[in-house]
Copies of this chain bind each other. A is one copy, B any other.
Amino acid sequence: MELTVFSDERFMKEALKEAQKAFEADEVPVGAVVVHKNTIIARAHNYTEHLNDVTAHAEMQAFTAAADYLGSKYLDECTLYVTLEPCVMCAGAAFWTQIGKVVFGAADERRGYRAAAEKSILHPKTEVVNGIMAEECGALVKNFFKSKR
């Protein structure tokens, strides 16, 4: 039996905890963690309303915090776990970080980075895994917008 202590699901659950915090704070519920050598070195959730700043997506804050923690601009040995497919801004930021791997939960067909360009806007060295806990991650966002109607 394979040990799955450090599985993608394990870390996505932590990203989902962050998304839940965003939900409770009346923010669009997206959460992220950055993992380095199986250790979470940054956690963040969407904070755009609180900070009155559209750039305060979970991923942006997580990148800044992870770089600060490592003392390195580049996150090539790190993995980003994020509950929703990154937008163009966040994928563009991921490019600059040269992050090793991006794992996301639910797809964002409207605002996700994959809809914006034919070729990926992530760094060519960045591995991508998607659909991890997609249902739970997507349900949180759907419930949020349903509650706003």
> A residues bordering B, Cβ < 8 Å?
48, 52-55, 60, 63-64, 67-68, 71-74, 87-93, 95-97, 116-119, 121
- What residue of chain B has the Cβ atom nearest to residue A86's Cβ? B92
Could you tell me the distance between the alpha carbons of A67 and B49 in the complex, rounded to whole angstroms?
Answer: 12
| Inter-chain contact B54/A73, CB cutoff 8 Å | yes
Contact between A60 and B55, CB atoms less than 8 A apart: yes
Contact among B53, B74, B88, B90 with A121 in the assembled complex (CB-CB below 8 Å): B88
What B residues does A89 contact at CB under 8 A?
A: 88-93, 95-96
Residues of B within 8 A of A96 (CB): 54-55, 87, 89
Contact call B88/A92, Cβ cutoff below 8 A: yes
